[in-house]
Amino acid sequence: MKSFTPDSSIASDVIPSANYGDRAKGRQPDMILLHYTGMPDVEGAIARLCTTGTEVSAHYIVLEDGRIVQCVPEARRAWHAGASSWAGEEDINSCSIGIEIVNRGHDWGYPDYPLRQIAAVIALCRGIMLRRKVPSHRVLAHSDVAPSRKKDPGEKFPWHSLANSGVGHWVQPAPIVRGDTLKLGIIGEEVRDLQHALAKYGYGVPITGRYDGPTMEVVTAFQRHFRPARVDGIADHSTLVTLHALLSSLPAEAVINPPVAAAP
């Protein structure tokens, strides 16, 4: 790709990626998907996102010092989400704008996100939300749309700070207390209710009434984003209360009506 004029006025540079395409059926982006780069250094991350043959890219990269690089125009389809789904939609690349945040990630020590970097992410997201009319509940983590594969941007990412600036959907997580839990191997209506609530929010989870591996992965992803104090894939009281508070605070048109499967 030749150089282009950045969509965001706060992008400090353009490093065109070779990896992009057209959005399917003219789909306009109405989601922002946040990632971490998950690589030891920024040079390697930029090379991977921009070099022909890697088949990976993103619209933006936010560096640790707050500088923002644009790699793919917002009108084009970047290749950042991979196999993923949200609210019944599976071509997440066509409906989203991908932002890679430079951070080594879980495999390389997972440092805290610098305040300057988070301020840049907030400013970038606010601009995209205004330009593209992205609703707050459609600012998501890579782990939300690909819970079986991804952890980013992870439990250290300060979603609450973004929400305080009008970016993303958030409620104060319910306190962690002792009590009954739903966990791997449990079967019953309480599990079906949990799966149904997660699917209503947008997560791709089959409603089977069985607390199986995929259900645990989705609960883990939910906790990374919305209840990061304990990420263990066990649906405790705090997880359930936080989930229902999020659902209650969604606009009515944003709630998904998932198909109901037969009882186990």
Any idea which residues carry the catalytic annotation? 100
Largest CA distance in the chain: 58
3-state secondary structure the chain: CCCCCCCCCCCCEECCCCCEECCHHHCCCCEEEEEECCCCCHHHHHHHHHCCCCCCCCCEEECCCCCEEECCCCCCEECCCCCCCECCECCHHHHEEEEEECCCCHHHCCCCCCHHHHHHHHHHHHHHHHHHCCCHHHEEEHHHHCCCCCCCCCCCCCHHHHHHCCCCCCCCCCCCCCCCCECCCCECHHHHHHHHHHHHHCCCCCCCCECCHHHHHHHHHHHHHHCCCCCCCCECHHHHHHHHHHHHCCCHHHCCCCCCCCCC
The region that residue 218 occupies, defined by phi over 0 for left and psi between -120 and 50 for alpha, beta otherwise, is alpha
Residue 153: is the preceding peptide bond cis (ω within 30°)?
Answer: yes
